[in-house]
Amino acid sequence: MARKVALDPGHGGRDPGAVGPGGIREAEVNLLIALELKPVLERAGFEVLLTRTGDRELGPTLATDLRRRSDMVNDWGADACVSIHCNASGTADPGRTANGIETYALPGGRAEALARHIHRFLVVFTGAKDRGVRTNKRFWMLRMTAPPAVLVECGYVTNAGECALLQEHSYRTKLALAMAAGIMTWTGEVTR
Ligand SMILES: [Zn+2]
């Protein structure tokens, strides 16, 4: 049974990730969600590793950041990895209307199953637009991590309404509880 869950709050430090209205930085939102999720998973009996706990990149350079993250996850012997991100739309969406949650995994196997568990709860618990489970073979944290890994785009920081929600503690709690529920059902934890 999976016992060790690595949480990877995307970006940090010199890399703010997407930036929303009022200068809200994706990196900060990602970390707050991860810090909310960690104690929930611990209450469920999981060991939890965070790839970062502060607003910093895993240097010495930005180029090494992703490799440091995947090395941490693999060296620790994680049974699953969840990368936490928020999304942004660009010039193709001048009204910044794009919103909703999407969850990525490599196609097939246990990773895609984990994505489906997590994504289902995310959409049900938050009421956010369902942008689907998507497969991706290029994302570093999906390709280079040994355990099944997913990457969650928790919402669009470029969308005014969704950005406001992401700044609410109660909304981040919903996101965290949904991800925990997905991980628990994927591992069979709820049948114990
Ligand atoms: Zn990101």
The string of pLDDT tens digits covering residues 148-179 is: 999 999 999 999 999 999 999 999 999 999 99
Q: Which of 153, 162, 168, 189 is catalytic?
A: 153
Please state, rounded to an integer, the average pLDDT across all residues of the chain: 95
> How far apart (Å, rounded) are the C-alpha atoms in residues 144 and 74?
9
Distance 40 CA to ligand 1 centre (A): 23
CB-side neighbour CA atoms (13 Å) of 49: 18
Q: In 3-state terms, what secondary structure has residue 82?
A: strand
Dihedral, CA atoms, 33, 40, 109, 106, nearest 10 degrees?
A: 10
Residue pLDDT, tens place only, 60-94? 777 799 999 999 999 999 999 999 999 999 999 99
Distance 158 CA to ligand 1 centre (A): 12
- Counted domains in the chain: 1
Confidence of residue 1 (pLDDT cuts 50, 70, 90): low
> How far apart (Å, rounded) are the C-alpha atoms in residues 121 and 5?
18
Residue of 6, 1, 182, 152 whose CA lies nearest to 77:
6
pLDDT given at position 6:
98
> How far apart (Å, rounded) are the C-alpha atoms in residues 159 and 162?
5
For 120-149, what is the mean pLDDT? 97
Range of the domain at 170: 4-191
pLDDT given at position 38:
98
For the domain that residue 90 is a member of, what is the CATH number?
A: 3.40.630.40
CB-side neighbour CA atoms (13 Å) of 159: 19
Give the whole-number percent of the chain exceeding pLDDT 90: 91
Residue 192 has pLDDT above 70, yes or no: no
